[in-house]
Structure 1
Amino acid sequence: MDHSFATPSGFRQRKLPPRMRMRGSAADMTDPNQLFEDTSTNTGSPGMGYRASETQSADFTAQSLLSDPMSNLAMVYGSSLATQGKDMVDKRLYQFIPISKLKYYFAVDTMYVGKKLGLLVFPYMHENWEVRYQQDTPVAPRFDINAPDLYIPAMAFLTYILVAGLALGTQNRFSPEILGMQASSALIWLIIEVGVTLLSLYIMTVNTDLTTIDLIAFSGYKYVGMIIGVLSGLIFGRICYYLMLLWCCIAIVVFMVRSLRLKILSEAAAEGKLIQGAKNQLRMYLTITIAAVQPIVMYLLTYHLVR
């Protein structure tokens, strides 16, 4: 069927089918109340193309930088500087804090801690005070009760600070500033004690295998007796504090003398000399002095906590 019709000018114009006319009119119709153009029928978005081109540009830039020899050289040089800096920091840190050696002093277990605490409070019946060695290396503390460790001193120091805060709280004198001063005083006393001991060993030219960490460990054992004294005073009164502190002071003196005697006099014992010379007498006096300082510090850091 011919859908053309004649116009006044004489030309014939093709007439569209009804379906095509509706489809075209629907596409041309617009809602006058619509605020934005409907783009749901669009197959693509200009923004997507922009972002894709931007990603491609960034990838191209990164590839160009990586393919540049100067960029590769800069990356290698920066990595080398970072490695050298890390090695330098590790070396400097190891000079002051030997991390590998600290692992030895914390190699403890529950059985060792229990036995060592008993030795600190009752050192009178213990006979063998020598540290065991295996191929010129001292065995780990968990295998030898005579070996010094840092676990008990560190935990005892923290526990002492908590007990001091408890004692100050029962007296209505607690404050963060006072507790901080208490912790600072205990730490300063420990530093002074270890420093004076090292200086004395240097002046007397004593060749010993005692290290700074060993001295910190031995000096930190007194906090166990301080905790026992303060807790006894808080529970049973001031008289019990004096009695328990006196017991712990005597125990720590015996423990220090018997432990340090073998360390400080190890040179004379190795050479088979009798402890009769003036130099060995000074070493013995130094050992006794180090042990005698412990009760003084214990009393100064605890007497004001029990009233």
Structure 2
Amino acid sequence: MQYPSASSPPLHHPVPQHPVHFQQGGYGNPAGAAQSGGTSRQPQAYRNPYAPPQGVQQTAPQAQPSTIQPQGMPNVIPNVPTALNSILSDPNAQLGFEVGRNALNYGQEYIGRNMGKYMDAGAFSYYFQVSNFYVFRKLLLVMFPWRHKPWSRQIVRSDSTGQDTYATPREDLNAPDMYIPIMAFTTYMVVFSIIQGLLGQFHPQLLGIVTSKSLALMVVEISFLKLFSYLLAASSSLLDLIAYSGYKFIAITLVTLAAATSSSLVKWTTFTYTGAATAFFMLRSLRYVLLPESSNSTSTVNSGMRQKRIQFLFIYSFVCQFVFMWLLL
């Protein structure tokens, strides 16, 4: 192999045909580069392709309001007072408001006119004019009605009005009262709560369920009485029907005590006797309250209507009373 001699011509780097410009801040320092043997090539500085051009100040983009609207939504929210005024100014709306106002006024007038006789303090006070002797005798009458006579209510003349009215409960044993039914209902709730507590099964929701169930059955019973009184063309007092429907809670309380302290035989024996006594008491009492025409010699009732009334009294007194008592246990 032959090596080049000293007389060989020197090597030259290729000269670029276009000038090359270097930017400050690149890789390396172009000022410190060696410049021997002609023009030296130095590496070009790195430039971010996504950076803005030099001399241009970059600013943060401003948030633009969205112009996309949901389908079915208006571009502008309506003014609520303006929409309300437009509705109120509509003639059809004004006519509807006027009809509703007249109906409300008529309903208030109707309730005040028809419920006034039931909400009268004097009408309610009549059913609470009782004495201790009356309460004791009435309890015995409800439980032992077999040999009681007579069953007709006494009529007295009022000193203030001069009209004939029924005697108060303390004066007439056959008059209905609300003191005993209310106390019997309350006693039944207390006895039921005590028994459930002794058994470890009491909770407040159970007491509310039993109370609501009892009141609902009473409403059904009174509605049943009023309906058939209307169908049989018989006059009846709503307060009298409420008072008589509450006497069954005396028997229900006794059956509840018998079921908690004795066997099932004693329970159903007590249920049968107290149910029969309450049914007989209701049969004889409602004859003069629900169907007063049957005991009035001046009224004229044909035989067909009288037979229907007797059948209704029997079904309600002996069938419905047992059913309601069984549902309440």
- Alignment partner of 1:94: what SS? coil
- Give the aligned partner of residue 134 of structure 2: 112
Q: Residue deviations 1:7-26, cap 9 Å, x none?
A: xxxxxxxxxxxxxxxxxxxx
Aligned partner of residue 286 in structure 1, secondary structure: helix
CA distance in 1, matches of 2:225, 2:282: 13
AA aligned to 2:181 is P
Distance 1:168 1:141, change over 3 A: same
Is 1:153 aligned to 2:175, yes or no? no
Indicate yes or no: 2:169 matched with 1:162. Answer: no
Cα deviation, residue 96, structure 1 = 4.5
Decide whether the 8 Å contact of 1:219 with 1:294 is kept in 2.
no
The equivalent of 1:97 in structure 2 is 119
Q: Distance in 1 between matches of 2:326 and 2:111?
A: 41
Classify 1:250/1:89 alpha carbon distance in 2 versus 1 (closer, same or farther; 3 Å).
closer
1:239 aligns with 2:265: yes
2:166 to 138, 141, 157: 138
Q: Aligned residue for 2:206?
A: 178
Q: Which amino acid aligns with 1:176?
A: P
Distance (whole Å) between structure 2 residues aligned to residue 188 and residue 297 of structure 1: 11
The 8 Å contact of residues 236 and 291 in structure 2, kept in 1 or not, is answered as: no
Q: Distance in 2 between matches of 1:287 and 1:161?
A: 29
Q: Secondary structure at the match of 2:129?
A: coil
Structure number with the higher helix fraction is 1
1:215-294 equivalences under 5 Å are: 215-271=241-297, 277-292=303-318, 293-294=320-321
Q: Measure the CA separation in 2 of the matches of 1:91 and 1:250.
A: 40
8 Å CA contact 1:264–1:283 kept in 2: the answer is no
For each residue in 1:103-160, what CA deviation from the matched residue of structure 2 results, as whole angstroms up to 9, or x when unmatched? 0000001000000000000000101101001021111101111000000001111111
Q: Which runs of at least 4 in structure 1 moved beyond 3 Å after TM superposition?
A: 88-93, 271-276
Q: Which has the higher contact order (CA 8 A, sep 6+)?
A: 1
How do 1:185-196 and structure 2 match up within 5 A? Answer: 185-196=213-224
Sort the Cα spacing of 1:276 and 1:93 in 2 relative to 1 into closer, same or farther, 3 A.
Answer: closer
1:11-90, aligned counterparts within 5 Å?
Answer: none
User: What's the % identity of the aligned pairs?
Assistant: 31
Q: Which amino acid aligns with 2:328?
A: L
- CA positional deviation for 1:239: 1.9
Letter in 2 for 1:133: I
Alpha-carbon distance in 1 for matches of 2:213, 2:288: 30
* 2:226 counterpart of 1:204: no
Secondary structure in structure 2 of the residue aligned to 1:134: strand
TM-score of the pair, normalised by structure 1: 0.65
Aligned to 1:137, what secondary structure does the other structure show? strand
| Count of residue pairs the alignment pairs up | 214
Q: What is the deviation of 1:257?
A: 0.8
Contact 2:293 2:301 in 1 (8 A): no
Shift of 1:94: 2.6
Query: Structure 2 unaligned runs (5+)?
Result: 1-109, 158-163
Contact 1:265 1:280 in 2 (8 A): no
TM-score (norm 2): 0.61
In structure 1, what is the Cα distance between the partners aligned to 2:261 and 2:313?
A: 35
Q: CA deviation at 1:211?
A: 0.6
Matched residues in 2 for 1:123 and 1:275: separation? 28
Structure 1 pair 90/99, CA: closer, same or farther in 2 (3 Å)? farther
Query: Taking structure 1 as reference, are residues 132 and 234 closer, same or farther at Cα in structure 2, changes over 3 Å only?
Result: same
Q: Kindly provide the CA deviation profile for residues 54-75 of structure 1, in whole angstroms up to 9, marking residues without a partner as x.
A: xxxxxxxxxxxxxxxxxxxxxx
Conserved? CA contact 2:176–2:244, under 8 Å: yes
CA RMSD of aligned residues (A): 2.4
Q: Secondary structure at the match of 1:216?
A: helix
Residue 116 of structure 2 aligns to a residue whose secondary structure is: helix
Structure 1 residue identity aligned to 2:304:
A
Give me the whole-angstrom Cα distance separating, in 1, the residues matched to 2:306 and 2:113.
37
Matches of 2:172 and 2:297, distance apart in 1: 25
C-alpha distance in structure 2 between counterparts of 1:202 and 1:92, whole Å? 17
Is the counterpart of residue 297 in structure 1 residue 319 in structure 2?
Answer: no
Work out which of the two has the higher radius of gyration on C-alpha atoms and give 1 or 2.
2
